[in-house]
Structure 1
Amino acid sequence: MQSHEEKLHKMMIQSKINDTKDVMRRKATEIDKVKLESKIQQQAMHARARAVDSAVGSAAETNRLVDPPGSKTVETTSSDTSAEAGAKVADSTANARAVASGSGMPQKSLAGPKKGMQLGGKPKTNQFLESLRAEGESVEPDFEPMRSSVPEPAPAPAMPTESVSLVIEEKLNVSLNRNGGLEQMELQGNMLLEVRNEDDALIRVMTKAGANSGFQFKTHPNIDKGLHANEGVLGLKDPNRPFPCGSALGVLKWRFTTKDESQLPISINCWPTINGGETAVSIEYEATDAMDLQHVVISVPCPPCRDPPVVNSCDGEFRFDARHGVMEWNIELIDSSNRSGSMEFIIPVANTDAFFPIDVNFSSTQTFCDIDITSIARTTDGAPVTFACKKMMLSDSYQVV
């Protein structure tokens, strides 16, 4: 049976694993986008080189046809860079046009090729894309611009405004007999008080309790037992002594034991039946009307088998944990709409003892102990103090054996 702390620990580990997977997926997407952009750059470079080579060949042919005898011809070599070749092509084209029009020898361009580092220029990628667009090529990328992989910071949780916080928590331990009957039920409760504001550390807590028949209460050694027994007030023996600030203090405990089945929040029946070469496992639950249960998980152990069990019917959801050999029946909420439910699955023939013990986990915002906080006041002037109170009941160990 897993404790509440172990469950929280496993949830934290699973959350870290999920975060790592998300980061890996984002990194893989970024790598794919970089590869695609690099491919576009290479295609642009090849297209530009082909365009320059074509222009150079055309200009050389023009010069050969129109240059008069003795005129200097323009030649390009493979050692010329793309920028220099482009400049010479421009000069050659100008010379050819000047001679053909009879305007005489061409004038040299006053503006030479730019050299050195240019600040504020467009990125090379944009230059390549623009050159391709100028030639009529469609080079629009089919992906969105890359976004920052740094996640936005989560909003800070709202700070509590109450001066005092109280938690009423109960843990339930139950052992049910598979053939029917309650073997043992034990309930342990605790009230924790935490003062957040030092100015409100000198206080008394007024409570309201029901009959609570069969409950045994015990106050903290520093709490005035007589004041609590006679007036239902939780206060320190020394009224001039403040409660500790910034740390939770257990001020009241209680315990309850019974073998009365009517006190159970939920009862479980399991009927494994062997029929030929298979075993049909029928499970049903029945919950009390006095309490709503959240996050109910009924875990039935299963013997080793090659194939997962076949579920014929299920009120709720199910999951088969093949690694641990456990069939989990999940009911998110049990309230007035579904106080009872059933599930049936088929598995290869097995000994009926293999399906026990059955573990049951659940929580509730209602408690067995009928106790509430009515108000909190300062001992100095009787002024009321703001407070918040949270109730919870957890199944610590709940089994059908």
Structure 2
Amino acid sequence: RWASDCPAKECLHRALKLGAKGKEVDNFVDQLKSEGETIISTSGKRGSDVSKVLPPPVNMESVHLRVEEKISLACGRDGGLQNMEVLGMVTLRVTDEKNGRIRLIINNNDNKGLQLQTHPNVDKKLFTAESVIGLKNPEKSFPLNNDVGVLKWRLQTTDESLIPLTINCWPSESGSGCNVNIEYELQEENLELNDVVICIPVPSGVGAPVIGDLDGEYKHDSRRNLLEWCLPVIDANNKTGSLEFSIAGQPNDFFPINVSFVSKHSYCDIQVTKVSHVDGDSSVRFSTETSFVVDKYVIE
């Protein structure tokens, strides 16, 4: 049975209840936890923000696919990638029983060294040989009206060249406090990052920062003692930018810096390019939604 697969969605969007219950579900959740899958859980305000920015497609076909990725990253303030992990999953939902016996053709352009894992009910040999996801028993159908995680992947690295968005912060002491220069650079030029917010701590009780050169917009949150540098879009046409400001304080006051963004483009280039019936190999119409979001992105 595939009822136990519903928590695959739960791992990505904990707020959504999927109706599947019982011991099978608990066991599957435990299995995911043991594999570190809970890192891709979304919690609190960030999850609701993501759902506002990346709404589900209006025209959902009876075969619908979600390609979802989350990044967790920590960099040192003087450079160096301490750790970066990207977790991804392809989730399938079938709502018409005539499309239950299908296969998914995967286009895997990964050159970063991902670890890929198919669901136990998926034919692993078929996937390894042909990058095709189909059931071990081709006479069986995928379950109807359930979110089924069919493929997941994990990238863990300390290779600085794989950082999607680098942040460089230079605080320098002056007679009256600190002059701070911050710049970003998009290293993965195929990405388009939306609603980027770079949050810089600032000292309390010393007034607002004096802003110099600025790409994008800023907001000083005096209640939380944060300077929020806001950039609606970062892409290949807008791959670098900078912010300068001055305020009373010391260089250590401006860390850790936290970054958030959402994207409709996946970081790891894995896509479903075709869905076909098991019998006859005829094409099946399908819809796809893709999201790449931040779990943690910090410069310490």
TM-score interval, normalised by the smaller of the two chains: 0.7 to 0.9
* Counterpart residue identity of residue 302, structure 1: V
> Post-superposition shift, 1:283?
0.8
Which residue, out of 115, 122, 131, partners 1:216? 115
Q: In the alignment, which residue of structure 2 is the partner of 1:297?
A: 197
Q: Secondary structure at the match of 1:337?
A: helix
Q: Secondary structure at the match of 1:308?
A: coil
> Post-superposition shift, 1:320?
0.8
Query: Identity of paired residues, percent?
Result: 39
> Post-superposition shift, 1:8?
5.0
> Post-superposition shift, 1:179?
0.7
Q: Distance in 2 between matches of 1:362 and 1:231?
A: 34
Which residue, out of 210, 224, 241, partners 1:324? 224
Q: Distance in 1 between matches of 2:253 and 2:287?
A: 46
Which residue, out of 80, 88, 91, partners 1:189? 88
Q: In the alignment, which residue of structure 1 is the partner of 2:35?
A: none
Q: In the alignment, which residue of structure 1 is the partner of 2:32?
A: none
Q: Distance in 2 between matches of 1:308 and 1:167?
A: 43
Higher relative contact order (Cα pairs below 8 Å, separated by 6+ residues): 2
Q: Distance in 1 between matches of 2:203 and 2:164?
A: 29
The 5 Å alignment of 1:154-303 reads 160=59, 162-288=61-187, 289-303=189-203
* Counterpart residue identity of residue 63, structure 2: V
> Post-superposition shift, 1:381?
4.2
The 5 Å alignment of 1:88-167 reads 160=59, 162-167=61-66
Change (3 A) 1:208 1:160: same
> Post-superposition shift, 1:9?
6.3
CA contact 1:163–1:385 (8 Å) conserved in 2: no
CA contact 1:223–1:234 (8 Å) conserved in 2: yes
Change (3 A) 1:346 1:159: closer
* Structure with greater helix share of residues: 1
Q: In the alignment, which residue of structure 2 is the partner of 1:88?
A: none
* Counterpart residue identity of residue 243, structure 2: M
Which residue, out of 240, 243, 255, partners 1:340? 240
**RMSD, matched Cα:** 2.2
> Post-superposition shift, 1:165?
0.5
Q: Secondary structure at the match of 2:44?
A: helix
- Give a deviation string over 1:288-323, Cα, whole Å, max 9, x none: 223222111100011212422121221000001111
> Post-superposition shift, 1:336?
2.7
> Post-superposition shift, 1:367?
1.9
| Residue correspondences, number | 255
Q: Secondary structure at the match of 1:319?
A: strand
CA contact 1:365–1:391 (8 Å) conserved in 2: yes
CA contact 1:223–1:237 (8 Å) conserved in 2: yes
Q: Distance in 1 between matches of 2:244 and 2:109?
A: 41
- Unaligned runs of 5+ residues in structure 1 are 15-156
Give the TM-score, by structure 1 length: 0.60
Q: Distance in 1 between matches of 2:225 and 2:169?
A: 17
> Post-superposition shift, 1:11?
5.4
Change (3 A) 1:4 1:379: same
- Give a deviation string over 1:29-70, Cα, whole Å, max 9, x none: xxxxxxxxxxxxxxxxxxxxxxxxxxxxxxxxxxxxxxxxxx
Q: In the alignment, which residue of structure 2 is the partner of 1:63?
A: none
CA contact 2:206–2:247 (8 Å) conserved in 1: no
CA contact 1:315–1:342 (8 Å) conserved in 2: yes
Give the TM-score, by structure 2 length: 0.79
> Post-superposition shift, 1:338?
2.0
| Ranges of 4+ aligned residues in structure 1 off by more than 6 Å | none
> Post-superposition shift, 1:384?
2.2
Q: Distance in 1 between matches of 2:206 and 2:110?
A: 54
